[in-house]
């Protein structure tokens, strides 16, 4: 370390007329969702083939640095951009330290575009650190007063994601809300923050076939649902994904109940896929219709019969994470989870009260359904929403437990962008309160998204540089080898299909390390390995 006198002399001379090197780290990549949904626009076919051959995920690091951000920074006085890195989402700049530090204030469409600056000369970083007011730094972290919405966010750990040092509030993620009317979303104070941030990317009314998704005012269900994800009223209410981007699609005609609504839902899901949407929230369900000849039977809620259910399964195959309300038939004659929540590829959400106990109206699972339903639960009785007149009030229904959970999942996926929809769903299941003993009322229970994040951040090796774990061959045919370090006596190995169903639960040792996979169907599986408090999840392909 240079002595203080020398430091002051150099600092003065450089700040007066010298040029410094610095890395400017950018806050996000606004078009990352679209780019990742269309990887051929950012990677060559050879690169795509190589990644596929080695089971390497295409992730945020593959997306180029946003050109509009580069243009803004290049235009700043005294700044020269020398290089850019998509891996680090950073620019290498040269300039006067004062001019470089001024980049911290830059915004595009009201959003700050610089997350941090790192000088090549550590002395400048030290000086900045010493002069920075601690309280000012703390204030820069995401802090929300959730008001009445606190319980529904805290129950699932969404607040922990928001308050994480990296502020996982949905930034860069895109959600399609498929619902009924979106009355007053374009004018309400409850969505002013969302609009100011450019968070509403567009919408379409599939019922009336027009682009004015706000024109229909006969039902505000979509508005209420959206508020539980994207609503914000200072010190009164915060949704679970307030900084995500949203498309609003109306497919539900509240005046009637016909099979056409199923087809409109599938149309909306197809458009969501083409737009690069990450998550669909759908607080809709179909079982019986105005014309009883069209009615489904409970036996047809089998995960693959209803048209909308089959469409939802395709959406899952396309990589979208579909979150859907389980239904409100738990205390009626129908009782069980309806379509499309019966789909194996849909993450179906039941409802609990504020104290975490079962809400009697919440639709239940059935042994006739191919996977555990509901998947998980969130608060859906006496939960809070924002009405079309900006009043925070309570409402009931899995219609609201679904977006509360969907918003939390959006934030989780923001934190773990390299994981697939199936892997995110499984992480959430494993974090839930009764994962080891699911039932037809609460499914796997109430998730803890902060726990899911911790698990998701596990590296592909056990977290000790002296311990190596190997799983081979991958792809596998008849025999999988799980090689654990000799320091460990044994490890528990669990195998899940992509829908979260446990296929195998066994143990391996340093000597007995092979698992028979000859009877497995072809496809993708998740292997979870636990030993002495260490845990890792890997994906394998069965040929």
Q: How large is the angle between the packed helices 398-415 and 449-456, nearest 10 degrees?
A: 30
Determine phi and psi for 404, rounding to 5 degrees. -60, -45
Cβ atoms of 203 and 166 within 8 Å: the answer is no
**List of E strands, 228-374:** 232-233, 237-238, 245-250, 279-282, 321-325, 346-352
Q: Which two tokens stand for residue 236?
A: 């009164």
Cα separation, 38 vs 19, whole angstroms: 40
Torsion angle defined by CA atoms of residues 366, 367, 369 and 375, in that order, rounded to the nearest 10 degrees: 60
Compute the residue count for the chain. 543
By CB atoms closer than 10 A (0-12, 13-18, 19+), residue 138 is exposed
| Distant-in-sequence, close-in-space partners of 473: CB < 8 Å, separation ≥ 6 | 480, 481
329, 399, 401, 431: the catalytic one is 399
Give all strands (DSSP E) within 380-509, no chain letters. 383-386, 392-395, 470-472, 479-483, 490-497, 502-509
| CB environment 53-76: b (16+ within 10 A), e (fewer) | eeeeebebebbbbbeebbebbeeb
Q: Is 399 a known active-site residue?
A: yes
Identified catalytic residue from 62, 159, 179, 205: 179
Counts of helices then strands in the chain (DSSP H, E): 16, 24
Per residue in 286-313, is it b (16+ CB within 10 Å) or e — as a string?
A: bbebeeeeeebebebbbbeebebbbbbb
Helix (H, G, I), strand (E, B) or coil at 314: helix
Catalytic residue among 221, 278, 348, 362: 221
Specify which residues 206 forms β-bridges with: none
Radius of gyration for the chain, computed over Cα atoms and rounded to the nearest angstrom? 25
**Contact between residue 420 and residue 278 where contact means Cβ atoms under 8 Å apart:** no
Q: Could you tell me what percentage of the chain is helix, strand and coil, using 3-state DSSP and rounding each to the nearest 5?
A: 30, 25, 45
* Residue corresponding to tokens 């497919």: 251
Q: For strand 346-352 and strand 376-379, is the pairing parallel, antiparallel, or unpaired?
A: parallel
Helices (H), 103-218: 122-131, 134-140, 150-154, 158-162, 192-196
Q: Cα angle vertex 176, ends 335, 39, to 5°?
A: 125
Q: Bridge partners of 9?
A: none
Q: What is the H or E stretch that residue 177 is in?
A: strand 174-179
Catalytic positions: 179, 221, 399
């Amino acid at each position: 370390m240079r002595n203080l006198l020398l430091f002051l002399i150099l600092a003065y001379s450089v700040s007066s007329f010298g040029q410094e090197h610095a890395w400017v780290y950018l806050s996000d990549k606004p078009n990352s969702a679209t780019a990742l949904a269309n990887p051929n626009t950012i990677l060559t076919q050879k690169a795509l083939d190589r990644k596929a051959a080695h089971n390497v995920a295409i992730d945020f690091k593959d997306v180029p640095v946003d050109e509009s951000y580069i243009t803004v920074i290049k235009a700043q006085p005294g700044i020269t951009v020398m290089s850019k890195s998509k891996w680090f989402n950073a620019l290498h700049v040269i300039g006067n330290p004062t001019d470089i530090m001024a980049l911290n204030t830059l915004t595009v469409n009201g959003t700050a575009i610089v997350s941090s600056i790192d000088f090549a000369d550590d002395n400048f970083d030290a000086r900045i650190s010493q002069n920075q007011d601690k309280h000012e730094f703390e204030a820069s972290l995401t802090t929300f007063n959730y008001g009445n919405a606190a319980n529904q966010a805290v129950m699932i750990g969404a607040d922990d994601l928001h308050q994480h040092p990296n502020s996982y509030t949905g930034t860069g993620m895109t959600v399609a809300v498929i619902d009924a009317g979106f009355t007053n979303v374009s004018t309400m104070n409850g969505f002013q923050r969302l609009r100011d941030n450019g968070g509403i990317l567009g919408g379409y009314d599939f019922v009336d076939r027009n682009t004015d998704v706000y024109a229909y005012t006969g039902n505000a269900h979509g508005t209420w649902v959206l508020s539980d994800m994207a609503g914000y009223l200072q010190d009164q209410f915060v949704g679970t994904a307030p900084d995500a981007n949203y498309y609003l699609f109306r497919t539900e005609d509240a005046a009637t109940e016909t099979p056409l609504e199923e087809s409109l839902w599938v149309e909306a899901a197809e458009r969501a896929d083409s737009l690069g949407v990450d998550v669909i929230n759908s607080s809709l369900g179909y079982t019986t219709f105005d014309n009883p000849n069209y009615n489904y039977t409970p036996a047809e809620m089998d995960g693959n019969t209803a048209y909308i259910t089959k469409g939802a399964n395709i959406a899952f195959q396309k990589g979208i994470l579909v979150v859907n309300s389980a239904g409100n038939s738990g205390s009626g004659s129908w009782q069980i989870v309806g379509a499309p929540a019966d789909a194996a590829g849909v993450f179906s959400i039941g409802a609990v009260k504020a104290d975490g106990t079962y809400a009697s109206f919440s639709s239940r699972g059935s042994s006739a359904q191919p996977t555990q339903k509901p998947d998980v639960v969130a608060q859906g009785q006496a939960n809070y929403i924002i009405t079309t007149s900006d009043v925070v009030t309570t409402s009931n229904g899995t219609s609201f437990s679904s977006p509360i959970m969907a918003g939390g999942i959006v934030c989780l996926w923001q934190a773990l962008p390299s994981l697939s929809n199936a892997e995110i769903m499984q992480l959430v299941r494993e974090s839930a309160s009764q994962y080891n003993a699911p039932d037809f009322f609460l499914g796997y229970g109430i998730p803890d998204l902060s726990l899911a994040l911790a698990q998701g951040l596990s590296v592909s090796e056990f977290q000790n540089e002296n311990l190596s774990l190997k799983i081979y061959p991958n792809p596998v045919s008849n025999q999988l080898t799980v090689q654990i370090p000799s320091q460990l006596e044994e490890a528990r190995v669990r195998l899940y299909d992509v829908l979260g169903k446990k296929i195998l639960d066994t143990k391996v040792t340093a000597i007995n390390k092979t698992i028979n996979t000859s009877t497995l169907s072809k496809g993708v599986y998740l292997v979870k390995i636990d030993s002495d408090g260490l845990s890792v999840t890997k994906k394998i392909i069965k040929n």
